[in-house]
C-alpha cells in the first residue's frame, strides 16, 4: 500500500470578493517527487500556495498532512510541520543583513548569533554552488540572489516539503537550470517539492507529476507513467490545451482578412502572413521602434487606423512600463514613438493627451478616477481649466452638467444624477466613466490596460463593445490584458510580452490561441 | 538679571532640565518601541495624560509615589488596549484611533479632575531623592541602555525590526505579527503612562487638566528623529528638557518677552530639528496594518 501524500488539498475552495480562486481543488504532494503546478495568470496557483503555507484559510475542504485533515494551519504551524515556502515575492527584510534574516523566528530572548548564521549561510551557499555575501543587506541583493537566499533558508530547516512559487522568474537561464538540477537532487533525498511555473519546458524537465489549473479548477494532471510514456511535443500540446482551454476562436467583429502588403514594406519582420483589418483600415497610426527603458528592451510594433493590437503576457513582464511609456507617465525611455508620423518623444502626459493619446489605467480607483469628486467632474478630469467648462478660473456648472448628461446617456452610465460622488458607483460604471472621458472625438491612440479587470460579465461586455466601437472610428488601440479570451475576442493581432521584449506578434484567427500559448510558456 | 552665571542657578537649571526631560524620555522610548514594530502611536498624548491623572490620584490617596507611578503605567496600558484591539487586531487607521483616544482621555481626565480635585487642587509633597535625583531617573537611564541592548542583541530586537519593515517576513518565519505588535503597543502605553505619572507626581506635584500639553506629540517627534536608537531619544529629550526649562528660567530672570513667546520655545525647537534632521527613512511598514493573506 502506498503511504498517504505528505501534504494535500482535499476539495479546497477559496473565494475572494468577485473571484473564486480555488474551486474544489484536489491536489497532493508526495515524498521524493517534484510536482509541477501550471496555469496562466489568475488560475489559482498562488492561492494553492497560500492554503498549503497557512497564509490563507480554505472556505471549504481541507488541507491534509499525512492523510489527516488539519484543524488549524498557519505559517508558524507550517514551519513546525516541516513545510518550507518560498513565495513569489521576496519576504526577506530588506533593511537587515541576509544572516539576520536567517535568524528570524527563533526564541525572542536569545541573542542573535550573527557570526555563526553567516558561516552556516556561506557553507549552505557553497553546497548550492552559489556565492551570496551573508553580511550584505538583503535589499541590496538582486531579486535572483534574494530568492536563492530564501531557498537556502527554507532548506536550512530540513523540512519535508518545499514549496517554490515561480522560482525561476527572477533567475537567468543558467541559474534556473542550476536550481532545477538541485531540486531533482533534493527530492531524491526524500523531500516533497511543489514547483510553480508557467514555463512548460522547465516543468517537463524536472517534474515527476504535473497538475494544471485553470480558473480555480484542476483541468488536468499527468502522473509519472504519463510523463514517461508520452513524447515531449505531445505532452506540451496536452498541457497547453489544459492551461488555456483551447476552443475554436472566431473573431466577433466582421473583419476582412487582408494580405499584408503595407506592414511588410514598413519592415516589420515580426508580422507574419496575414493580419485581420477592418474595412476602414490602411494607414499606420502608431509606430513604435526600438522602445527601451529599464523594463523594456527594443520594442517594435505599429498599429494601423482602426486596428486593435492586443498585448498578452504573464503579469510583470513590462505591461505597465509599456502603457506608461506610451501615455507619457514615464519619460525615461529611448527609441521612437510616432503618432501619425509625428514623434511623441519628450512630450509629457498633457501634451500627448492634446495630440490624441488616451490611457485607461488598470488602477481604476487609485489612478483613473477621484472617488470624492462628482461624476461630472471625473468626466472632465483631464480637461480641468479648459473652456468651455471653466472660464476665468471659475467652473461653469451648466456646461459641465450638459457635458456630463450627454456622456451619461451615450455611455449608459447608471448614476442617479451627474453630481453624485464617483465613489458611489459600481466598478462597471466607474469604468464607463473612464471610457466616456477617454473616448472623446479627438482620440487617436487609446491604451487600454486591463479594461475589464474585476468587472462582472455584463459590464465587461459593455466595455468590450465600446472598445470595438472606438476602433471602428479609426483609433489605433493597444489592448493590454491578462485575459487571453478577451484578447482573442477583440484584437486583430496579439503581441506577447516576455521579460520586457516582444516575443512575437500573432495574427488573430484559427490557431492563434495555441501560438500565443506557445510564446507565453517558452 | 542677577545670578545668571552663579553655580546655584546653573545647578537648578540643569536639575530642572532633567526633570522636564524625564517624561519625554519615557514617552519617547515607548513611542520608539511602537514605531519600531510598525505601529504609529498617535494616542501617546492620551496615554501620558491618563498616566498623569491615575498616577496623581493614586499617589494622593495612598500617600506613596511608587504606587502612583505603577498606577500611571497601568492606566497608560489600559488606554493602549483599545489601540491594540482596533489597530492591531482589526486593522483600523492608526492615526484616527490615536487622535480619538487622545481626545477621549483629555475629556475624561478633565471631568474626573473636576469632580475630585477642582475645589481643593491638592499638592503632593516633594519626592524623596536618592543621590540628588528621584530614583526613577536612574532607572530610566538604565532602561535607555537596556533597550539599546535589546534592539541590537536579542532576537526580539530583530523581530521588532522585521515587524516594522516587512511584517510578512516575520509572519512567514512563524512569529505572530499581531501578538508582537500588540505587546509593543501595550509596553508603549505603560511607558507613556509612567512618563505621565512622573510629570504629575514628580515634576509638578499637582494634576492640572490637559497638563501634558503636547508632550506626547514631542515624544512622537523624538522617536521619529531618533529612528531606532534609544540613546538619541535620550539626547533629544535632554534638548527639549533644556528648552522647556529655559522657558521657565527666562521668565524667572525677568527677561522682558511675552510669556507666550517663551513657551513656544520647545515647539520652535521641534520644528527646527525636523527641518534640520528630518527626511530620513522611517520603518517601511510604519502605520500600515498587517493582515495575513491580504491581496
Q: Write out pLDDT tens, residues A117-173.
A: 999 999 999 988 888 999 999 988 887 889 999 999 988 878 899 999 988 877 777
Q: Where do the structural domains in chain A lie, given as residue ranges?
A: 1-82+159-171+182-245, 91-158, 281-356+442-522, 369-438
Q: Which three cell numbers stand for residue A400?
A: 459641465
Chain B contact for A17 (CB, 8 A cutoff) = no
Task: Answer yes or no: do B155 and A76 touch at CB < 8 A.
Answer: no
Secondary structure class of B65 (helix, strand, coil): helix
Q: What is the mean pLDDT of residues B195-204?
A: 95
**Is this prediction's ipTM beyond 0.85?**
yes
- Chain B contact probe: residue of A97, A104, A154, A163 with most B CBs at under 10 A: A104
What is the least distance, in Å, from the CA of B286 to any CA of chain A? 14
As a whole number, the mean pLDDT across chain B is 90
Confidence band of A283 (pLDDT split at 50, 70, 90): confident
pLDDT one-digit tens code per residue, A69-121: 999 999 999 999 999 999 887 889 999 999 999 999 888 889 999 999 999 99
Predicted local distance difference test score (pLDDT) of residue A113 = 92
Q: What is the pLDDT of residue B5?
A: 63
Q: What percent of chain A has pLDDT over 90?
A: 33
Smallest CA–CA separation between A321 and chain B, in Å?
22
For residues A269 and A300, is the Cβ–Cβ distance under 8 A?
A: no
* Phi, psi (deg, nearest 5) at residue A37: -110, 120
Query: DSSP 3-state assignment of B132?
Result: coil
Cβ proximity of A212 and A38 under 8 Å: yes
List B residues 253-272 in contact with A (Cβ-Cβ < 8 A): none
Query: Using one digit for the tens of pLDDT, what is the confidence trace for A6-27?
Result: 999 999 999 876 678 899 999 9
**Which residues in chain B are contacts of A106 at CB distance < 8 A?**
155
Residues of A in contact with B154 (CB under 8 A): 108-112
Rounded Cα–Cα distance for residues B32 and B41 (Å): 9
Q: How far apart are CA B77 and CA A359, in angstroms?
A: 51
The answer to whether B173 faces chain A, any CB pair under 8 Å, is: yes
In CATH, which superfamily holds the domain spanning A1-82+159-171+182-245?
A: P-loop containing nucleotide triphosphate hydrolases (3.40.50.300)
pLDDT level of residue A277 (50, 70, 90 thresholds): very low
Residue A448 contacts residue A478 (beta carbons within 8 Å):
yes
Nearest of A250, A307, A257 to residue A280 by alpha carbon: A307
- The partner residue sitting opposite B158, judged by closest CB among A85, A94, A96, is A96
CA-to-CA distance for B220 and B30, rounded, in angstroms? 9
Q: Is the pLDDT of residue A263 over 60?
A: no
Q: Is B161 on the interface with A (CB under 8 A)?
A: yes
pLDDT 10s digits, A169-191: 777 777 888 899 889 888 888 89
List Cα–Cα distances, A245 to A13, A139, A218, A383, in angstroms. 21, 40, 12, 43
Contact A79 B162 (CB under 8 A): no
Nearest C-alpha of chain B: how many angstroms from A40? 18
Whole-number pLDDT of residue A278 = 42
Whether A1-82+159-171+182-245 and A281-356+442-522 share one fold: the answer is yes
Q: Please list, in sequence order, all residues whose beta carbon lies within 8 angstroms of the beta carbon of residue A476, skipping any fewer than 6 positions away.
A: A285, A286, A303, A304, A305, A306, A307, A309, A444, A445, A446
Q: Name the average pLDDT for chain A.
A: 84
Domain range A281-356+442-522, its CATH number among 3.40.50.300, 3.40.50.2020, 1.10.10.10, 3.90.1150.10: 3.40.50.300
- Rounded-to-integer distance, Cα B163 and Cα B284, Å: 10
Distance (Å, whole) CA B73 – CA B57 = 13
- Confirm or reject contact between B295 and chain A (CB < 8 A): yes
A137 touches chain B (CB under 8 A): no
pLDDT at B6 over 80: no
With the C-alpha atoms ordered A388, A391, A395, A398, is the resulting torsion angle positive or negative? negative
Instruction: List residues bridging with A460 in a β-sheet.
Output: none
What domains are there in chain B, each with its CATH number? 6-117+134-277 (1.10.3470)
Asked if B166 and A50 come within 8 Å (Cβ–Cβ), the reply is no
Contacts of A96 in chain B (CB under 8 A): 158, 161-162, 165
Across the range B18-45, mean pLDDT stands at 95
> Residue A85 and residue B159: Cβ atoms within 8 Å?
no
Query: In b/e form, how buried is each residue of B122-138, taking b as 16+ CB within 10 angstroms?
Result: eebeebeeeeebbebbe
Amino acid at each position: 500500500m502506498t503511504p498517504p501524500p505528505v501534504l494535500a488539498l482535499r476539495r479546497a475552495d477559496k473565494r475572494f470578493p468577485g473571484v473564486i480562486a480555488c474551486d474544489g481543488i484536489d491536489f497532493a504532494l508526495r515524498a521524493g517527487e517534484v510536482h509541477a503546478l501550471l496555469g496562466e495568470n489568475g488560475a489559482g496557483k498562488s492561492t494553492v500556495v497560500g492554503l498549503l503555507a497557512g497564509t490563507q484559510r480554505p472556505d471549504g475542504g481541507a488541507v491534509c498532512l499525512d492523510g489527516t485533515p488539519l484543524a488549524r494551519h498557519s505559517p508558524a504551524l507550517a514551519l513546525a510541520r516541516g513545510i518550507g515556502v518560498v513565495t513569489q515575492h521576496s519576504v526577506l527584510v530588506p533593511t537587515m543583513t541576509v544572516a539576520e534574516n536567517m535568524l528570524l523566528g527563533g526564541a525572542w530572548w536569545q541573542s542573535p548569533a550573527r557570526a555563526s548564521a553567516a558561516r552556516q549561510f556561506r557553507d549552505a551557499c557553497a553546497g548550492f554552488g552559489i556565492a551570496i555575501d551573508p553580511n550584505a543587506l538583503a535589499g541590496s541583493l538582486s531579486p535572483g540572489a534574494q530568492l536563492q537566499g530564501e531557498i537556502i533558508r527554507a532548506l536550512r530547516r530540513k523540512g519535508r516539503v518545499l514549496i517554490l512559487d515561480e522560482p525561476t522568474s527572477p533567475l537567468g537561464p543558467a541559474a534556473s537550470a542550476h536550481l532545477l538540477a538541485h531540486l531533482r537532487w533534493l527530492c531524491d533525498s526524500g523531500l516533497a517539492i511543489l514547483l510553480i511555473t508557467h514555463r512548460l519546458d522547465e516543468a517537463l524537465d524536472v517534474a515527476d507529476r504535473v497538475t494544471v489549473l485553470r480558473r480555480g479548477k484542476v483541468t488536468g494532471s499527468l502522473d509519472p507513467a504519463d510523463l514517461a510514456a508520452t513524447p515531449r511535443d505531445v505532452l506540451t500540446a496536452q498541457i497547453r490545451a489544459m492551461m488555456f482551454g483551447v476552443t475554436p476562436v472566431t473573431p466577433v467583429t466582421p473583419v476582412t482578412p487582408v494580405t499584408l502588403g503595407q506592414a511588410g514594406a514598413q519592415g516589420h519582420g515580426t508580422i507574419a502572413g496575414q493580419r485581420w483589418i477592418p474595412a476602414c483600415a490602411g494607414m499606420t497610426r502608431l509606430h513604435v521602434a526600438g522602445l527601451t527603458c529599464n523594463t523594456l528592451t527594443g520594442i517594435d510594433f505599429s498599429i494601423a487606423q482602426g486596428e486593435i493590437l492586443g498585448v498578452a503576457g504573464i503579469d510583470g513582464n513590462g505591461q505597465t512600463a509599456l502603457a506608461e511609456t506610451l501615455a507619457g507617465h514615464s519619460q525615461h525611455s529611448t527609441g521612437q514613438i510616432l503618432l501619425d508620423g509625428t514623434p511623441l518623444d519628450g512630450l509629457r502626459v498633457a501634451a500627448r493627451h492634446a495630440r490624441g493619446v488616451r490611457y485607461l489605467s488598470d488602477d481604476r480607483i487609485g489612478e483613473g478616477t477621484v472617488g470624492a469628486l462628482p461624476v461630472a467632474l471625473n468626466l472632465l478630469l483631464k480637461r480641468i481649466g479648459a473652456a468651455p467648462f471653466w472660464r476665468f478660473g471659475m467652473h461653469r456648472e451648466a456646461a459641465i452638467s450638459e457635458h456630463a448628461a450627454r456622456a451619461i446617456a451615450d455611455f449608459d452610465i447608471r448614476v442617479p444624477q451627474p453630481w453624485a460622488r464617483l465613489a458611489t458607483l459600481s466598478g462597471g460604471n466607474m469604468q464607463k466613466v473612464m471610457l466616456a472621458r477617454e473616448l472623446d472625438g479627438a482620440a487617436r491612440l487609446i491604451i487600454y490596460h486591463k479594461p475589464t479587470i474585476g468587472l462582472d460579465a455584463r459590464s465587461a461586455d459593455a466595455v468590450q463593445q465600446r472598445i470595438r466601437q472606438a476602433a471602428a472610428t479609426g483609433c489605433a488601440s493597444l489592448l493590454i490584458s491578462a485575459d487571453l479570451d478577451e484578447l482573442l475576442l477583440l484584437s486583430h493581432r496579439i503581441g506577447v510580452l516576455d521579460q520586457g521584449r516582444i516575443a512575437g506578434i500573432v495574427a488573430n484567427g484559427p490557431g492563434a490561441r495555441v501560438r500565443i500559448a506557445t510564446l507565453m510558456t517558452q | 538679571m542677577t545670578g545668571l552665571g552663579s553655580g546655584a542657578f546653573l545647578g537648578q537649571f540643569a536639575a530642572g532640565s532633567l526633570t522636564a526631560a524625564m517624561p519625554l524620555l519615557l514617552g519617547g522610548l515607548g513611542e520608539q518601541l511602537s514605531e519600531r514594530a510598525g505601529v504609529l502611536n498617535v494616542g501617546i498624548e492620551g496615554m501620558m495624560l491618563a498616566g498623569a491623572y491615575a498616577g496623581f490620584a493614586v499617589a494622593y490617596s495612598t500617600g506613596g509615589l511608587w504606587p502612583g507611578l505603577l498606577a500611571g503605567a497601568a492606566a497608560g496600558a489600559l488606554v493602549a488596549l483599545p489601540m491594540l484591539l482596533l489597530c492591531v487586531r482589526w486593522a483600523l487607521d492608526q492615526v484616527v484611533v490615536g487622535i480619538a483616544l487622545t481626545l477621549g482621555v483629555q475629556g475624561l481626565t478633565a471631568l474626573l479632575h473636576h469632580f475630585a480635585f477642582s475645589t481643593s487642587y491638592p499638592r503632593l509633597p516633594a519626592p524623596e531623592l536618592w543621590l540628588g535625583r528621584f530614583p526613577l531617573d536612574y532607572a530610566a537611564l538604565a532602561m535607555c541602555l537596556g533597550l539599546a541592548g535589546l534592539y541590537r542583541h536579542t532576537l526580539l530586537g530583530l523581530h521588532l525590526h522585521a515587524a516594522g519593515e516587512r511584517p510578512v517576513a516575520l509572519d512567514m518565519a512563524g512569529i505572530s505579527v499581531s501578538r508582537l505588535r500588540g505587546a509593543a503597543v501595550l509596553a508603549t502605553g505603560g511607558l507613556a503612562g509612567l512618563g505621565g505619572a512622573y510629570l504629575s507626581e514628580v515634576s509638578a506635584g499637582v494634576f492640572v487638566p490637559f497638563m501634558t500639553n503636547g508632550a506626547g506629540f514631542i515624544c512622537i517627534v523624538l522617536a521619529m528623529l531618533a529612528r531606532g536608537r534609544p540613546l538619541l531619544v535620550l539626547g533629544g529629550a535632554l534638548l527639549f528638557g533644556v528648552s522647556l526649562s529655559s522657558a521657565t528660567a527666562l521668565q524667572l530672570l525677568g527677561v522682558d518677552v511675552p510669556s507666550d513667546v517663551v513657551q513656544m520655545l520647545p515647539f520652535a525647537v521641534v520644528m527646527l530639528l525636523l527641518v534640520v534632521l528630518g527626511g530620513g527613512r522611517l520603518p517601511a511598514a510604519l502605520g500600515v496594518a498587517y493582515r495575513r493573506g491580504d491581496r
